[in-house]
Chain A
Amino acid sequence: MDSQVTRREVLKKGLIGAAGLTVLPSVIAACSTSSATTAPTAAAATQAPAATPTPNANILTGKLTLGNNHSDASDLKGVNAINDAFKALTTLAVTTNTVDHNTFQDQINNYLGATPDDVFFWFSGYRMRFFADKGLATAIDDTWAKVSSNFTAGFANAVVGNDKKVYGIPVDYYPWCVFYRKTLFADKKYTIPATWDDLITLCKKMQTDGLTPIAFSDKDGWPAMGTFDILNLRMNGYDFHVGLMTGAQKWTDPKVTAVFQKWATLIPFYTHGYAGLTWQQACDTLVRKTAGLFFLGLFMTGEVATVDATASADIDFFPFPFMGNSFDAEQALDAPIDIAMISAKSPNLAADLVNAKAYMEFWAKGSTQLLMYQANNGFIPTASDADTTKFDVLTQKAVQIVSKAQKITQFLDRDTRPDFAGANAMQSFLLNFLNAPTQDLAKLQASIQAFWDALPVYAGN
């Protein structure tokens, strides 16, 4: 618990650092040249990725397998571009095993416990520590020692396990914000709501204008978690959120009741039939201007580009409105960090470990992460040496919002134990609430707490 609090507090400082990147490149240039790999500068790498196969100190032999959960077309393109660049540098071809993002998540336990790939993508925070505690991940302290100078303390703390060892390389992150279309706001003369009351007023106005005020969907089960998180953060603050997610606080707490009651006032503004819609469908209503606002992760820009590339430049966002209480100062938000990890039970790991660590090192470079960012700008690079001049306006704004946040959380299903966050668990409870916001909340909260209490004891709690 304590370590988590400090981790997140430090993270915010780290991201402030990330925002002020202009001062960093010289430092990074110094450390990357001192490392074993050639580490071309960000600019050189993006212009001519395969330019320097000269002394062949980087040549790797053998094999390397990658469990890739970046299954969306644009994301897969990014992974492939990175693997190509890695091959150009080391001549080693990475065998990529791409699995649908949600399927990968569902099967992670069996996957890591059976015959996983050498390297895989996963989530930082509680979810990483959960599997590290189970002995399903390989610590990479030696690799981390080589690359840690390229990460701010916030990111660094996000990859430390309960045993104080490092288990991952932060590869990207994305904040959750409220998205809107600039032209729609200009046409209708809407202003960006800074407070909760502004938000309600805006929603009512949109409703009279014939719009769906808030695009919302929850067939996937997780989008509702984002709204719960932000309301909980705004109303009860960061510490309560962390306590709730780790079991120190009870779901029967009146503070949780207050969150549900507040949420109930938003539901009339949601898309009709949201419980049967995917987030992509909700996103499309924003793109088509039938909905005014959309609260989701920055990765939604990938969907916008797919549906209507011309709308991409018209998308903008703002932080979720504030409640006017003492927690406003936290400016907290969900900004989950994705990481690359090395498995523990890969059958080839003994032979592939050198390659796997070289690959992790490769992912720790800004130039590598930028390739991913160029494929889908929802993946903001975590490395300090990433060339921020390559960031688009939205990303720079996202970095700015995150850097202002005094507290950063990882998202409900990444901040709590996986057996609590699934389909027949928290996803069901939140849908239950959404279906009947006026129900007996005490009863619902009691059933959530009963569910938590029935879960097996987990040592890492």
Chain B
Amino acid sequence: MSELEPQAFAPAPATAGAGAPASAKRRRRHYSLLNRRDKLLLATMVGVPLAIFLVIIWGMTFVSVVLSFTNWDGVNPIAFIGVDNYVQLFTTYQFFWPAVFHNVLWLLFFVAFATPMGILLAVLLDRPLRGSGVYQSIFFTPVVLSLAVVGFIWELQYNALDGFINSAMVGMGWMSPNGTIDFLGDPSINIYAVLVAASWRHIGYIMVLYLAGLKSVDPSLREAAAIDGANERQTFMHVVFPVMAPINVVIIVVTVIESLRAFDIAYIINHGKNGLELLSILITNNALSEAGLIGFGSAIAVVLLVISLVPIVIYLTRVMRSEDQ
């Protein structure tokens, strides 16, 4: 790069054949710190990731939308069948609405319980506390564990035959061995069991995000609030929380994204059947399974995309508006 340095502040060389006055004028108007090589370099650095992004994200999205109007099985020639997949999805396909309901439930549970819990832990651990690091590590551990391990750990807790919770209840004499709770197999409760397991990870994730934000809050704000006689709760609600607005938006976005892409624990437990249907799992079971219903799976994926666009658009408009100001 050293060879570039002498040129860096030199005017860009005039293009051949251009008249002197014109080139001088242009040189003044387009005076730049960047020479052509720099521009090329920049264009490459921006262009290549942009191209990859367009191809991998929006290209694939576009392909999914197109495929959703076909009955492609991954092998045979593609045949367009109009909106048949969507009609089937919304009318006769009996796993669709339960999946939508479970995704909404997931979002509500995270918004109402898991995310506030993570924020609460972050606030508590932000105070001068002996062994704060130890607590942080403990709560963050589930986020680091592989999902297969998380699924396995919770199976050991929930099992109706010899799981920890049921065995403990039976051992305490609170339950008969034939009256244990089938946390994983009872379709009326297994989604809640999975939500608890998912929250176990989510809380730690939110806690770390929020804690990082809290550490960056100017301590003088708290001091000022304390001098004004605000108690701890008031300080948080009226001073710290508003200051944390950018982090709060991130937390909301993370919560929504986590809820929409909910997949792993339910899939590990029973491949998303019997009360654990989720949109993401329906996509997998149709498009990526032995069934090979790629067209139909794509239609579900498009529905999930449309749902995902709502929070994305809200987030982007908010960010852009604040940048305009």
Chain A interface residues (CB < 8 Å from chain B): 105-110, 113, 134-136, 218-221, 271-277, 281, 285, 418-419, 422-425, 427-428, 431-432, 435, 447, 450-451, 454-456
Say yes or no: B270 contacts A219, CB within 8 Å.
yes
Chain A CB within 10 Å, residue with most, of B88, B274, B289, B290: B290
Closest A-chain residue to B284, C-beta based? A106
Complex contacts, A136 vs chain B, CB 8 Å: 75
- Determine the distance from Cα of A218 to Cα of B73 in the docked complex, in whole angstroms: 28
B177 closest partner in A (C-beta)? A272
Q: What sequence of 0s and 1s flags, for each residue 250-292 of chain B, a beta carbon within 8 Å of any chain A beta carbon?
A: 0000000000000000000111111001000110011011111
Contact in complex: B274, A431 (CB < 8 Å):
yes
Interchain CB contact under 8 A, A424 and B285: yes
Q: Across the A-B interface, give the 7 residue pairs with the lowest CB-CB distance, nearest first.
A: A273-B160, A275-B185, A276-B185, A276-B184, A419-B291, A109-B292, A273-B182
Could you tell me the dominant secondary structure of chain A's interface residues?
A: helix
Do A110 and B288 have beta carbons less than 8 Å apart? yes
Q: Contacts A276-B190, A454-B92 given: A281-B277 contact, CB under 8 Å?
A: no
Cα distance A300–B162 when bound, in Å? 20
Interface pairs (8), CB distance under 8 Å: A107-B288, A275-B187, A277-B161, A277-B185, A419-B291, A422-B291, A432-B274, A454-B88
Contacts of A110 in B (CB 8 A): 74, 288, 292
Q: Which residue of B lies closest to A447 (CB)?
A: B94
State the total of A-B contacts with C-beta under 8 angstroms. 126
Contact assessment for B186 and A134 in the assembled complex, using a CB-CB cutoff below 8 Å? no
With A276-B190, A447-B94, A456-B71 known to touch, is A108 a contact of B290 (CB < 8 Å)? Answer: yes
Contact yes or no, B273 A276, CB < 8 A = no
Asked if B288 contacts A106 (CB within 8 A), the reply is: yes
**Is the CB–CB distance between A424 and B277 below 8 Å?**
yes
Binding site for A on B (CB under 8 A): 71, 73-76, 88, 92-95, 158-162, 177-187, 190, 269-274, 277, 281-282, 285-286, 288-293, 295
Tell me the minimal C-beta distance from A233 to chain B in angstroms. Answer: 24
* Pair B88/A277 contact, Cβ less than 8 Å: no
Taking the nearest CB of chain B, how far is it from the CB of A158, in angstroms?
A: 19
The answer to whether A109 and B289 have CB atoms under 8 Å apart is yes
Q: Is the CB of A106 within 8 A of B289?
A: yes
Residues of A within 8 A of B269 (CB): 219
Partner of B273, one of A108, A109, A134, A423: A423
Which chain B positions have C-beta within 8 A of A272? 160-161, 177-180, 182
State whether A435 touches B289 (Cβ < 8 A): no
Contacts of B186 in A (CB 8 A): 273, 275-276, 435
Contacts of B270 in A (CB 8 A): 219-221, 423
Residues of the A chain whose Cβ atoms lie less than 8 Å from the Cβ of B161: 271-273, 277, 281, 285
Known: A106-B288, A450-B92. A423 touches B271 (CB 8 A): yes
Q: Give the docked Cα–Cα distance between A454 and B85 (Å).
A: 10
Bound: A414/B190 CA distance, A: 29
Whole-angstrom distance from the CB of B83 to the nearest CB of chain A?
14
CB-CB < 8 A to B178: which residues of A? 272
Residue of A whose beta carbon sits closest to that of B99: A424
Q: Which of B95, B162, B182, B273 is the one whose CB lies under 8 Å from A221?
A: B273
Residues of B within 8 A of A432 (CB): 274
- Kindly identify which residue among A134, A422, A423, A435 contacts B187, using a CB–CB cutoff of 8 Å: A435
Find the B residue at minimum CB distance from A221. B273
Known: A274-B185, A285-B161. A418 touches B92 (CB 8 A): no
Of the candidates B73, B177, B183, the one whose C-beta lies within 8 Å of that of A456 is: B73
Contacts of B288 in A (CB 8 A): 106-107, 110
- Least CB distance, A1 to chain B, in whole angstroms: 22
- Complex interface: chain B residues within 8 A of A455 (CB): 293
Contact of A428 among B95, B158, B179, B181 (CB under 8 A): B95
Residues of chain B within 8 A (CB-CB) of A435 are 186-187, 274
Q: How far is the CB of A451 from chain B (nearest CB, A)?
A: 7
Instruction: Give A447 to B93 CA distance when docked, in angstroms.
Output: 9
Most chain B C-beta atoms within 10 Å of own C-beta, residue among A273, A447, A455: A273
